Amino acid sequence: MAAARLVDELTSKALGRYSIAVIGAEPRRAYNRVLLSSLLAGEVEEKDIELKPAAWWRKRGVTTIYGRKVARIDRDESCVALDDGSTVDYDRLVLATGSDPIRLPLPGADLPGVLTFRDLADIERIRGAMKIGARAVVIGGGLLGLEAAYGLAKAGVQTSVVHLMDRLMERQLDAEAGAMLGDAMNARGIGVYLNAQTKAITGAGKVEAVELGDGTIIPADLVIMSVGIRPQADLARAAGLTVNRGIVVDDAMTTSDPRIHALGECAEHRGIAYGLVEPAYEQARVLAGSLAGVSALYEGSITATNLKVYGIAVFSAGDFSGGETTQSIVLRDPGMKTYRKLVLSHDGGVTRLVGCVLYGDTQDGLWYFDLIKRGAPVDAFRDVLAFGRMLTDQKAA
């Protein structure tokens, strides 16, 4: 997705300035990974998640090489070697290698039926393991784990989620919103096990159950590990580029080699490796501008999360944890099952929104996110801020 956006941005700014080749190990054009859960659930078809058709790439003169993996970067010869022995020269090289799913080193993790949820090949493997009456356990209650659970449950699989932390999506939701989400998942037939340490995956020749640290046994025919991602930085590391958790880049998205750049989930900027789409798109805009001769810098991203599964809508953005130097406005309606928390800072006589969590009613999420990103003063409408954009606009009028 990062590479497709970069090509889109670059060809709109400097069409014809570069001869562009895109090389991908997957045997298909770029697709929207955000829709994998919808694909698994049967809500969309594979053709619906393709980002750009073949004609789009041809019109921009882009050479696409799919189903062939880059085996090595030769910085001395300014080329990349592919796994079939061929080479492709470069003047500028962009690494958009994404990330790999983390697999826990559990007993039984190598049993047939233990899978990950990261790409189209994973979806094909999951579909191959699904059958009527199948039982699945998703290890990991973060964003990707819940998307996997949603896709499985919608496809008719009896699904449970095992999560190490005290609430679902603990990086994106506060305790109250996380508890509401857990209750809603349970109400929809998805079992949720919190504060749960996975001890082992058991079975004779195939997956039969997941054993938790407290002795609980959850029957399973299929186990999906969704406990996090790791930046795919092997090529960069082998080429001698600076790598920490991800491929280290500066504000111009340039690595320790001035002719090599990185963006998306594989890149680490100012100590942060983002695992979300929007930062990758912001990085693509900056890098495309730089390659087109326009001075541009990337200063990091304020992230937002938007999830809607089984009619449950949640949204979060910025720093919603709060603290001694902030104030929080909380609005809750148990009857309507809605909740919103807004976190405000007050500095230099100016009040600004710095974070928010919305549950149930998220229609104002992007408006709050815009206020956070712009650092806009909210003093003039602070008293109605929690009620959303409509009342705020009415007051301003």
17: CATH: 3.50.50.60
Q: 236 falls in which pLDDT band (50, 70, 90)?
A: very high
One domain for residues 110 and 212? yes
Other CB atoms within 10 Å distance of the CB of residue 112: 11
Residue listed under structure tokens 């009613």: 361
Encode pLDDT of 32-49 as tens digits.
999 999 999 999 999 999
One domain for residues 211 and 115? yes
One domain for residues 211 and 124? yes
pLDDT for 396:
67
One domain for residues 114 and 207? yes
* Residue that terminates a domain, selected from 225, 247, 279: 225
One domain for residues 121 and 262? no
Is there a domain that residue 182 lies in? yes
pLDDT for 295:
84
One domain for residues 86 and 111? no
Is there a domain that residue 304 lies in? no
Q: 161 falls in which pLDDT band (50, 70, 90)?
A: very high
> Does position 395 have pLDDT exceeding 90, yes or no?
no
Q: 209 falls in which pLDDT band (50, 70, 90)?
A: very high
One domain for residues 221 and 250? no
Q: What is the mean pLDDT of residues 25-30?
A: 96
pLDDT for 200:
98
pLDDT for 24:
97
> Does position 153 have pLDDT exceeding 90, yes or no?
yes
In DSSP terms, which residues pair with 210 in a beta bridge? Answer: 201, 218
One domain for residues 94 and 189? no
Burial (CB count within 10 angstroms: exposed 0-12, middle 13-18, buried 19+), residue 294: exposed
**266: which 2 tokens?**
């594989």
CA distance 159 to 135: 6
Residue listed under structure tokens 């921009």: 60
Rounded to the nearest 10 degrees, how much is the dihedral formed by the CA atoms of 33, 34, 39, 42?
Answer: 180
Encode pLDDT of 107-137 as tens digits.
999 999 999 999 999 999 999 998 888 999 9
Rounded to the nearest 10 degrees, how much is the dihedral formed by the CA atoms of 193, 199, 202, 206?
Answer: 80
Exposed e or buried b for every residue in 142-162, given b needs 16+ CB within 10 A? bbbbbbbbbbbbbbebbbbbb
CA atoms within 13 A of residue 342's CA, in its CB half-sphere: 23
Is there a domain that residue 33 lies in? yes
**Contact at 8 Å (CB) between 389 and 368?**
no
CA distance 32 to 47: 10
> Does position 397 have pLDDT exceeding 70, yes or no?
no
One domain for residues 213 and 236? no
One domain for residues 137 and 206? yes
Is there a domain that residue 236 lies in? yes
SS3 percent helix, strand, coil of the chain, rounded to 5, is 30, 30, 40
What percent of the chain has pLDDT above 70? 99
Q: 368 falls in which pLDDT band (50, 70, 90)?
A: very high
CA distance 178 to 221: 28
Q: Which amino acid is at 259?
A: R
Convert 184-195 into a string of H (helix), E (strand) and C (coil): HHHHCCCEEECC
pLDDT for 363:
95
pLDDT for 171:
92
Q: 183 falls in which pLDDT band (50, 70, 90)?
A: very high
One domain for residues 116 and 219? yes
Q: How many domains does the chain have?
A: 3
Q: What is the mean pLDDT of residues 370-376?
A: 96
One domain for residues 275 and 382? no
Q: Quick check: helix, strand or coil at residue 103?
A: coil
In the DSSP assignment, the letter for residue 172 is T
Is there a domain that residue 278 lies in? yes
**314: which 2 tokens?**
């949640």
Q: What is the mean pLDDT of residues 11-23?
A: 92
Encode pLDDT of 298-353 as tens digits.
999 999 999 888 789 999 999 999 888 899 999 999 999 999 999 999 998 999 99
**Rounded (5°) CA angle 207-213-218:** 40
Q: Which CATH number belongs to the domain containing residue 315 in this structure?
A: 3.30.390.30
Is there a domain that residue 367 lies in? yes
> Does position 355 have pLDDT exceeding 70, yes or no?
yes
CA distance 192 to 153: 13
Mean pLDDT of the chain: 95
- Cα 230 to Cα 100, 203, 227, distances in angstroms: 5, 28, 10
pLDDT for 392:
81
Is there a domain that residue 6 lies in? yes
Q: How far apart are the first and last CA of the chain?
A: 41
Is there a domain that residue 305 lies in? no
17: domain range?
Answer: 2-98+229-291
Q: 237 falls in which pLDDT band (50, 70, 90)?
A: very high
Residue listed under structure tokens 């079939």: 84
